Structure 1
Amino acid sequence: MSAADSGAASHPEADSDSSELADMVAAMSTTSSHMTPPNGYRSAPPRTTTPHRLAMSDRKLSLQERGSRVARQPTIETKRVSITDGEDCVQLNQYKLQSEIGKGSYGVVKLAYNEDAEQFYAMKVVSKKKMMKQCGFFRRPPPQGSCSKPLEPLQRVYQEIAILKKLDHHNIVKLVEVLDDPSEDKLHMAFELMTKGAVMEVPNESPFGEDQARSYFRDVLLGIEYLHYQKIIHRDIKPTNLLLGEDGRVKIADFGVSNVFEGSDARLFSTAGTPAFMAPEMMSEREQSFSGKALDVWAMGVTLYCFVYGKCPFYSEFIVELHIKILTQAVLFPETPTVGEDLKELIALMLDKNPETRITIPQIKLHQWVTQHGSDPLPLEEEHCTVVEVTVEEVQNSIRLIPSLSAVILVKSMLRKRSFGNPFECPSQRAQRSMSAPGGLLTGPWGLLGSSLHVHPSLMASNDGSRDGELEDLYEDEAFTEST
């Protein structure tokens, strides 16, 4: 994405924070280069590249070369976690947890340095205790006629892990390792570090130009096509869930409300996601099902509108009024900034209120604005998509359910003692282990799989048991297996 730098320059606050994180990583990398890793040896320095190889690396890859890339390494699953408080950091197995770089719904995101790999990651830290306390509170019963069982917050996390472990695409954020010790409260997930953070904060007074918006949107388009190819509906596409890497490539994050489906499309019944990015068919008062793919297309249309105008096409401080606008108002295009007619046409096609006539992903890929009138076509589906399967058994196995009444009594005892370990275990056996990383929850301008707290609730995703103001009227529980 050659225009990444120009896009970042148009957002001084986001650029400042991203630069600060990048500088921090660079400084820590310099320091770590003078340290001896715990394994006692250091990997050899990279070989000097010949001038011929440098020239080849600058060449744009062909579609065939893109398809022959090396598959990602499997996600590491670690069940034993050693936590030690240091003077300037917390040691978590081979990771040194540094400063907080974001905040999510149930925890924080920390900068983490892997001493073995000599690489930085974004470590999402969530509290299982907090999520279990949310179960059963601030929830409405499932819609009538729905035979699916709603997922609880902790179940959603394990569903997200089951999905991310399978995905392998250059426009999807990669889950590197899951550290889940049953005796610890904290669940840790190491993601690849996207140093530039969210592609945009909304509202924004400095939106992207058309060329920059096209570059970012094409990345999102390929990422969504890949997800749909893998029979996954994201359900919460928005600028703050699109992360920007050093190479200027956009990657899709946050699969907390995603759905796995069977057949050609998902048939969904319930509400999930961020209110300002929800499609009108989700707001009907009568019982009905709706297309999952069409929902993602609508959210992509709202996102593209945000890219070029810096705000959502439909907005209100009140959720009910917002719903009415989404249901009844036509899309209005401000006079400034100036936007081409091709782009307006594409946005209008994506924000068609009728999901049956709404433009589809294959049609978007061929649109004249996306391809610049055919001069820059996107790769075909088979050229960038490889089949992976997330089976029902795998998702179920990743969800930890309480099997019996005795287990419920045990968990309640844990909560009373403010410990997620065995309350009947000898205290001396647990005195050697720190329970969690110190420090409060900080709010940053960007966060992996999270969102800023300085925006209106209509721009924030609905989360189980965490509803503010007007969001209490929304019900966002749904099952991951809703299908035709």
Structure 2
Amino acid sequence: MKVLSKKRLMRQAGFPRRPPPRGARGAPEGPAQPKGPLERVYQEIAILKKLDHPNVVKLVEVLDDPSEDHLYMGNLPKALPVMEVPTDKPLNEEQARFYFQDLLRGIEYLHYQKIIHRDIKPSNLLVGDDGHIKIADFGVSNQFEGTDALLTSTVGTPAFMAPETLCETRKNFSGKALDVWAMGVTLHCFVFGVCPFMDERILSLHHKIRTQPVELPENVDVSEDLKDLLLKMLDKNPETRITVPQIKVHSWVTRNGAEPLPSEEEHCTLIEVTEEEVENSVKHIPSLATVILVRTMLRKRSFGNPFDWARREERNPSACKQAQGNRLLGFIM
């Protein structure tokens, strides 16, 4: 379960109006009616809940306590990241290609749904029971209209941020291009075990990402095709950086054509959400404690109050506190 701030999500959405739901028919013509920014967030959640792709984690449910600032997002599956960074045991090229193909399919699907992930990194790539990568954590993602997102805010993990997001003079930047940069940093981590730019100080790290050329480690023997792809993905100029369709046909990704990836039409179908699905995208609960209460009762098949620890606290306070913590942990897990 991931906990998100509603205020933060509303700031990220950045729109006081909500576009009409995709696929809606019979909508009246004319300008859209003003909608609250939280409703814009609910539409994005409705779309995330309908994402259905083998390389994208499934969002099961979102809980909202109206009296609190938090949204609780429940995801599947419960899995481990593909790798920890830094590591002295990077992947070989065959393993890296296998996982990168999964990542590429997932990103193409998200971009087709007009979603920019904005925080691609190994710790957000979970290995499922089938051995394939599933992209997780949409806490800073953006939905866009048209062909690409024009973004202005800087979010994500510092070592995976694209140089254009750190430039003070640039007013906006391409969402798709920054996802490609983060994919390049991730692939670099796959084969070398480290990010291309590292520094303990954030400002120094930003300076390196903006100004220093990309130099691939020489202590690891990798193919020339892989080097070529990495340098094209880590192109500091977003205008000339390689794109997802170009990456799909790159010789390293396809093993010189022996392993072609499916076309966009073969694995991407545009998600459509209705007004009803937007309205029901979030389950409103008066108190998270109430949900814990009900779930505990169902699990134990008992209508006894699991919070009777409060009445027994005077007799054994330490045991009651431990029991309360176990119940909360059991709900979250």
| TM exceeding 0.5 | yes
Identity score, percent: 63
Q: Distance in 2 between matches of 1:384 and 1:125?
A: 27
Distance 1:441-1:346 versus aligned 2 partners, 3 A rule:
farther
Write out aligned runs for 1:270-289 (5 A).
Answer: 270-289=153-172
Q: CA deviation at 1:161?
A: 3.7
Q: Distance in 2 between matches of 1:322 and 1:395?
A: 40
> Unmatched 5+ residue regions in structure 2?
17-37, 291-303, 311-322
Partner of 1:427: none
> Which residue, 325, 332, 352 being the options, matches 2:208?
325
Partner of 2:149: 266
TM-score relative to the length of structure 2: 0.73
Distance 1:312-1:222 versus aligned 2 partners, 3 A rule:
same
Preserved CA contact (<8 Å) 1:160 1:256: no
Q: Distance in 2 between matches of 1:249 and 1:289?
A: 34
Deviations, residues 394-433 of structure 1 (Å, cap 9, x unaligned) = 66875799xxxxxxxxxxxx9xxxx8789xxxxxxxx946
Partner of 2:325: 438
> Which residue, 82, 97, 106 being the options, matches 1:223?
106
Deviations, residues 70-108 of structure 1 (Å, cap 9, x unaligned) = xxxxxxxxxxxxxxxxxxxxxxxxxxxxxxxxxxxxxxx
Preserved CA contact (<8 Å) 1:155 1:400: no
> Unmatched 5+ residue regions in structure 1?
1-123, 136-140, 402-413, 423-430, 443-447, 449-484
- The alignment status of 1:175 with 2:51, answered yes or no, reads no
Deviations, residues 281-340 of structure 1 (Å, cap 9, x unaligned) = 101112511000001000000000000000000111111111111111111111222111
Q: Distance in 1 between matches of 2:190 and 2:42?
A: 32
Q: Distance in 1 between matches of 2:244 and 2:125?
A: 18
- The alignment status of 1:201 with 2:201, answered yes or no, reads no
Q: CA deviation at 1:162?
A: 3.0
Q: CA deviation at 1:203?
A: 0.4
TM-score relative to the length of structure 1: 0.51
Distance 1:202-1:359 versus aligned 2 partners, 3 A rule:
same
Partner of 1:94: none
Q: CA deviation at 1:180?
A: 5.1
Partner of 1:366: 249
Distance 1:363-1:243 versus aligned 2 partners, 3 A rule:
same
Q: Distance in 1 between matches of 2:136 and 2:221?
A: 30
Write out aligned runs for 1:288-307 (5 A).
Answer: 288-307=171-190
Q: Distance in 1 between matches of 2:75 and 2:179?
A: 23
Q: CA deviation at 1:191?
A: 2.7
Preserved CA contact (<8 Å) 1:268 1:292: yes
Deviations, residues 340-396 of structure 1 (Å, cap 9, x unaligned) = 111011000001011000000000000000000011100000001011035799668
Q: Distance in 2 between matches of 1:348 and 1:393?
A: 46
Q: Distance in 1 between matches of 2:145 and 2:72?
A: 30
Q: Distance in 2 between matches of 1:147 and 1:161?
A: 15
Partner of 1:458: none
Q: Distance in 2 between matches of 1:393 and 1:229?
A: 23
SS of residue matched to 1:191: strand
Distance 1:125-1:321 versus aligned 2 partners, 3 A rule:
closer
AA aligned opposite 2:56: I
Partner of 1:164: 48
Preserved CA contact (<8 Å) 1:183 1:420: no
> Which residue, 296, 301, 311 being the options, matches 2:194?
311
Q: Distance in 1 between matches of 2:204 and 2:68?
A: 44
Q: CA deviation at 1:175?
A: 2.1
Q: Distance in 2 between matches of 1:202 and 1:311?
A: 6
Partner of 2:315: none
Worse-superposed segment, 154-163 or 385-394: 154-163
Write out aligned runs for 1:33-52 (5 A).
Answer: none
Distance 1:218-1:358 versus aligned 2 partners, 3 A rule:
same
Distance 1:186-1:301 versus aligned 2 partners, 3 A rule:
closer
Partner of 1:387: 270
Preserved CA contact (<8 Å) 2:47 2:273: yes
Q: Which has the higher contact order (CA 8 A, sep 6+)?
A: 1
> Which residue, 228, 243, 255 being the options, matches 2:126?
243
Richer in helix (by share):
2
Deviations, residues 457-481 of structure 1 (Å, cap 9, x unaligned) = xxxxxxxxxxxxxxxxxxxxxxxxx
Q: Distance in 2 between matches of 1:396 and 1:289?
A: 31
Distance 1:421-1:302 versus aligned 2 partners, 3 A rule:
closer
Partner of 1:346: 229
Q: Distance in 1 between matches of 2:50 and 2:165?
A: 28
SS of residue matched to 2:60: strand
Q: Distance in 2 between matches of 1:324 and 1:171?
A: 33
Preserved CA contact (<8 Å) 1:183 1:421: no
Write out aligned runs for 1:42-121 (5 A).
Answer: none
Q: Distance in 1 between matches of 2:228 and 2:172?
A: 27
